[in-house]
Structure 1
Amino acid sequence: MKVLVVHNRYRSEQPSGENNVVDQEVALLAGAGHEVGVFERRSDDIATMSLPRKATVPLRVPWNARARADLTARLHRDRPDVVHIHNTFPLLSPSVLAACTDVGVPAVATLHNYTQICPPGTLYRDGRICGECAGSHPIPAVRHGCYRGSALATVPMAVGLAVNRRRWWSGITRFFCISGAQREILVQGGMPAEKMIVKHNFVADPGTRRHGTGEHVLFLGRLTEEKGVRLLMTAWEACAGELGVPLVIAGAGPMRTEVEQWVASRGDVRYLGLKDPAECRELLARSVAVVAPSTWLEAFGLVVVEAMAAAVPAVAPAHGAFPELVEDGVTGLLHRPHDPASLADCLRRIGSERNHTMGTEARRRYERDFTPAAGLERLLSGYESAIKEG
């Protein structure tokens, strides 16, 4: 099969799970003998642009004619069987859909978040879940300044959503949702159910698994409120002395200073900053459990599946994608969302005698549903149905 992957890469200054998923899928397809090309733009390039050109970037977020022309030329040259679109913000835009239509190549798109119904893609505002723009015009997002806290910065995204919503729905043959929970939310927001299939992300086997009971509880991710960092700090203060192991936090983000100050006041927490993939795998394999206390509706939960692959159970909230990833009491524990007392209770229980059994069951779930082989099967099935229908 001949596939062209279209993606606007996120800035390299912070790790991007979406970039990693794209790279892993490209490698997976190529390793299986398929011909894979990549058409991409890089957000890092914005920093090197002249000031006049930088100023035009927001104007091209809703529609970038140059990106359309460049992709059209690439499609004429390569003639792929299918185009797989990931992120188009900010340097590609939905104009890439028109390029696929111009050349008559079927297009599929992976929905990594909620940008089809929410300009910033999070369904989260001011520390709470928000669906004001879902199924309607995204005027509230501008009013609240949902992107980077700025109404002006939110306007291009809101305009792009309002102008191109129907274009997405008509121009894409198959939408890949990364969880059933995400699919349900997007369908409720007005997206065409008949075009939307669930294709969970896969995780490569880390080659190492936990042996013994583990040395620490691990938070591995971006340090933001929506990832539940503040919730975790409150819960840890309520139960830390009862666990007998430290909390290890690895990652970076806007809450880094707050986390560092909190860690400095405690002897049972370590903050490690950013770690490379090999170091992350080692941290996972030495964990009693991974905790992912997100307060927003995670569309997937990659760190939970990475923990599964290492035979480590997870503690996560009972909302978003987590209930379909974590079987409560079997492969981990689910806490009440936004509830530090419930999270603290789960942290107390996760180190029980059932911890090893939950880790074993988590690994079995990984082997059944989240291996590269399972991911390749779902990916090719989606491509084939899009090509047949297109």
Structure 2
Amino acid sequence: MKIVIVNSLYAPHMIGGAEISTQILAETLASTADVHVLTLGGHNRAGGVAEERIGGVTVHRLPHANLYWIGDAKRRGVLMRTARRLTDLYNPRMTKTVRELLSQIRPDLIHTQNLSGFGAGIWTAAAGLGVPIVHTLRDYSLLSPVSSPIKNPLLARLYALASAGYSRRVTAVVGISSHILRRHTDAGLFPHAARRVIPNAVEGGIAASAKDFDRKPLHIGYFGRVEPEKGVRELVEAAMSLPPDVVERIVVCGEGSLRGKLAESCRHDGRFVFPGKVKPAEARRMMAEVDVSFVPSVWEEPFGRVIIESYQVGTPVYAADVGGIPDAVWNPDEFLFPPGSAAAIRAKLLSYHSLPGGEKRRIQEACLKHCRGFTQAALLDRHLNLYDETLAGGGYAAVATAVGQVH
């Protein structure tokens, strides 16, 4: 089988989880298929299409045909970024380039991912080839030209209408969570597409960390961007309100606009540690050392990668009941809390503190078992099944979650 994957960026150009997940998917599929990736480079038209091999995958880097390359987004203001995204609504030059490449490669199936910089119009590039299109939803960029949470409902509605028109050509749509899939289909996108939920694969070994389950004062951790939408302020407030015999140490690992302010507010409380951004291996070590992690986001996270990373080292997670997070959490009835509530986080801290050591050990074992549903082997199996059914003409349930949880 020959598969073309399309994504805005590809290794070594990485911004976030979408690029990581796309590379994992491509290299995993390369074990059983001829995989080509179409992505955008920072060069102009004179440079043409550059080709290279990475991890068994043939990568085609197209010159960007927009106001600027998406890899330079951090240097641009809000107006320039919005204008670039609006250009995605109709970018005939990019569609033409993609059509020419698809005609040369002649894939059996096209699997698009994030399309910022390409534009959803490239779905029309496959129209004359008779090749089915699968699309994976990893963010909300088809719904709005500005970042989520959506700040301009009218502009977002017009943008979503354009995306919906193009999406009529998509054969099957995949959400990395049931929430992100429902957000798009409720907005009228992918009216003719079969629907699936397939969570991201999260790399990393699965091994229980050594913990003193009978020690009562808790060591807790937060790992991620230290921004208002991540709910870190509420976590800090909740932890500060509890005495040292309940919460003994709080690690807030990551960088962001709130880090300095939060560190300053905690300067007289020696329990707090703000190590900043660290290498993945170091973050994983710290994650293994805490008793419990918190993911207190207040915005609609598309997925919950850090939740699975925590489970992989044997550390349970309490998380906000928002976005795609519930699909990733083990035992959501117990380990979810309302977003934006320091009081709810405080209650969960007291709840976990009160558990006997034997129960904490049982929870760790359950978390380790749960995260095995997010491996590369599981990702490969689910995608190959989807591709087989898509090529055969469909015939599967409209929405089937991969891990047995739909919220």
- Common fold: TM-score over 0.5: yes
- What is the match of residue 357 of structure 1? 362
Contact 1:305–1:366 under 8 Å retained in 2: yes
Residues 12 and 263 of structure 1, relative CA distance in 2, 3 Å threshold: farther
Give the superposition deviation at 1:67. Answer: 1.6
Residues 257 and 15 of structure 1, relative CA distance in 2, 3 Å threshold: farther
Q: CA RMSD in A?
A: 3.1
The count of residues paired between Structure 1 and Structure 2 equals 355
Contact 2:220–2:250 under 8 Å retained in 1: yes
- TM-score of the superposed pair, with normalisation by structure 2: 0.78
- What is the match of residue 20 of structure 1? 20
Alpha-carbon distance between aligned partners in 1 of 2:285 and 2:98, rounded to the nearest angstrom: 41
**Matched ranges for 1:264-303 at <5 A:** 264-303=267-306
Alpha-carbon distance between aligned partners in 1 of 2:118 and 2:186, rounded to the nearest angstrom: 27
Deviation readout 1:43-79 (Å, 9 max, x if unpaired): 2256899xxx999845622222222122112111111
Give ranges in structure 2 of 5+ residues lacking alignment: 42-69, 395-407
Give the superposition deviation at 1:239. Answer: 2.2
2:386 corresponds to 1:382 = yes
Match of 1:258 among 257, 261, 266: 261
Contact 1:263–1:271 under 8 Å retained in 2: no
2:171 corresponds to 1:173 = yes
Q: Which amino acid aligns with 2:366?
A: E
Deviation readout 1:12-37 (Å, 9 max, x if unpaired): 9985111111111112112x232111
Contact 2:82–2:145 under 8 Å retained in 1: no
Relative to its length, the structure with more helix (as a share) is 1
Q: SS at 1:291's partner residue?
A: strand
**Matched ranges for 1:139-158 at <5 A:** 139=155, 141=156
Alpha-carbon distance between aligned partners in 1 of 2:323 and 2:81, rounded to the nearest angstrom: 36
**Matched ranges for 1:297-336 at <5 A:** 297-328=300-331, 333-336=335-338
Contact 1:4–1:84 under 8 Å retained in 2: yes
2:238 corresponds to 1:211 = no
Contact 1:107–1:171 under 8 Å retained in 2: yes
Alpha-carbon distance between aligned partners in 1 of 2:173 and 2:5, rounded to the nearest angstrom: 14
Contact 2:2–2:107 under 8 Å retained in 1: yes
Contact 2:143–2:159 under 8 Å retained in 1: no
Give ranges in structure 1 of 5+ residues lacking alignment: 126-131, 142-157
Give the superposition deviation at 1:285. Answer: 1.8
Alpha-carbon distance between aligned partners in 1 of 2:293 and 2:107, rounded to the nearest angstrom: 41
Deviation readout 1:269-309 (Å, 9 max, x if unpaired): 11121122222222222221110011122222111111122
- What is the match of residue 4 of structure 2? 4
Deviation readout 1:319-338 (Å, 9 max, x if unpaired): 333333324488x6222222
Stretch deviating more after TM superposition (3-12 or 270-279): 3-12
Alpha-carbon distance between aligned partners in 2 of 1:193 and 1:316, rounded to the nearest angstrom: 34
Give the superposition deviation at 1:207. Answer: 5.0
- What is the match of residue 65 of structure 2? none
2:119 corresponds to 1:93 = yes
Stretch deviating more after TM superposition (370-379 or 175-184): 175-184
Q: SS at 2:36's partner residue?
A: strand
Alpha-carbon distance between aligned partners in 2 of 1:28 and 1:243, rounded to the nearest angstrom: 44
Q: SS at 2:225's partner residue?
A: coil
Alpha-carbon distance between aligned partners in 2 of 1:164 and 1:187, rounded to the nearest angstrom: 11
Contact 1:114–1:123 under 8 Å retained in 2: no
Alpha-carbon distance between aligned partners in 1 of 2:339 and 2:36, rounded to the nearest angstrom: 41
Alpha-carbon distance between aligned partners in 2 of 1:280 and 1:271, rounded to the nearest angstrom: 12
- What is the match of residue 184 of structure 1? 182
Residues 197 and 254 of structure 1, relative CA distance in 2, 3 Å threshold: same
Contact 1:204–1:371 under 8 Å retained in 2: yes
Residues 265 and 165 of structure 1, relative CA distance in 2, 3 Å threshold: farther
Alpha-carbon distance between aligned partners in 2 of 1:110 and 1:193, rounded to the nearest angstrom: 15
Alpha-carbon distance between aligned partners in 2 of 1:348 and 1:272, rounded to the nearest angstrom: 25
Q: Which amino acid aligns with 1:288?
A: D
Q: SS at 1:219's partner residue?
A: strand
Q: Which amino acid aligns with 1:65?
A: P
Residues 40 and 194 of structure 1, relative CA distance in 2, 3 Å threshold: closer
Alpha-carbon distance between aligned partners in 2 of 1:253 and 1:160, rounded to the nearest angstrom: 29
2:115 corresponds to 1:113 = no
Q: Which amino acid aligns with 1:108?
A: V
Contact 1:336–1:342 under 8 Å retained in 2: yes
Alpha-carbon distance between aligned partners in 2 of 1:228 and 1:11, rounded to the nearest angstrom: 30
Alpha-carbon distance between aligned partners in 2 of 1:376 and 1:14, rounded to the nearest angstrom: 22
Q: Which amino acid aligns with 1:344?
A: R
- What is the match of residue 110 of structure 2? 83
2:377 corresponds to 1:373 = yes
- What is the match of residue 249 of structure 1? 252
Match of 2:345 among 336, 343, 346: 343
Contact 2:304–2:325 under 8 Å retained in 1: yes
- What is the match of residue 54 of structure 2? none
Q: Which amino acid aligns with 2:103?
A: H
Contact 2:291–2:315 under 8 Å retained in 1: yes
- What is the match of residue 163 of structure 1? 162
Contact 2:142–2:159 under 8 Å retained in 1: no
Stretch deviating more after TM superposition (285-294 or 159-168): 159-168
